[in-house]
Amino acid sequence: MTIQPRKHAAACACATALALCGAAQAQAPASATERAQADLVAKSQQSAAGRVTAALEVVPQLEAEPRMKQLLQQAKGILIVPKFGRAALGVGAQGGAGLLLLKRADGSWSGPAFYDLGGLTVGLQAGGEGGAIAMVLNNDKAVAEFMKRTNFSLSAEAGLTVINWSKLAMGTAGTGDVVAWSGTKGLFGDAVAIGLTGVRFNERLTNAYYGRTLAPKDITSAGLNNAQAKPLQEALGRASGRAG
């Protein structure tokens, strides 16, 4: 039997429409997933950029401290926590959000890698309000802890000496592996040594900030840059006595 041209064309058009409809329905979930992923990346980028901007405001406070420039000149890296959590009964109830910058071989500072923090193990004044803190990493042993993706600590239990900056400034303590500075007077109490627990690499924020999958060890790469972090890198360069 011969199919009339009009009927044949109508049948083809109907079949094509059904196929396109089915394809659209199949693609819809993927498109929704992609939009959700894009939104998550955008929010992560915004959060990461906010941390960098907040960390930049901490650097002038570091510069104002006697001996800090010398300490930064010799440092291997620094963890800046723009706002640490409220203290409760001498122990940090919650930590905060920080970022790590490492010093490259030429003396410049790397872009930031992002970390989440637990609490301080000793020294917080009961009921005291938290504030900005910074951990200056003095040697490769301290840096090596940050190369771990999983939960780790900066403390004597982890084999690291973490010296209270106020005690170092008074000349009553050695340099140690890490020097802990606080922008809030008395935040660390009278303890000579303190500890920071529950430190975790935030892969989601770090990857979103640079637009690629990264491990902590990748951040010193000369080719890894985000222009938004340049003011922070330059400020640390000036604070550590590096020209340009």
pLDDT given at position 241? 86
The amino acid sitting at 22 is G
Whose tokens are 């890296």? That residue is 77
- pLDDT tier for residue 134 given thresholds of 50, 70 and 90: very high
94 pLDDT exceeds 60? Answer: no
Domains of the chain, by residue range, sit at 56-239
Pairing of strands 77-81, 133-137: antiparallel
- Could you give the CA distance from residue 168 to residue 63 in angstroms, rounded to a whole number? 16
**Mean pLDDT of all residues in 162-170:** 80
Tokens of 142: 């301290």
- Span 32-47, pLDDT tens digits: 888 877 878 889 889 9
Helices (H), 57-158: 59-63, 68-74, 140-146
Short-list 29, 55, 37, CA closest to 207: 37
Short-list 134, 153, 164, 162, CA closest to 54: 134
**Mean pLDDT of all residues in 194-199:** 88
* pTM above threshold 0.85: no
Q: Which of 36-45, 78-87, 218-227 has the highest mean pLDDT?
A: 218-227
17 pLDDT exceeds 50? Answer: no
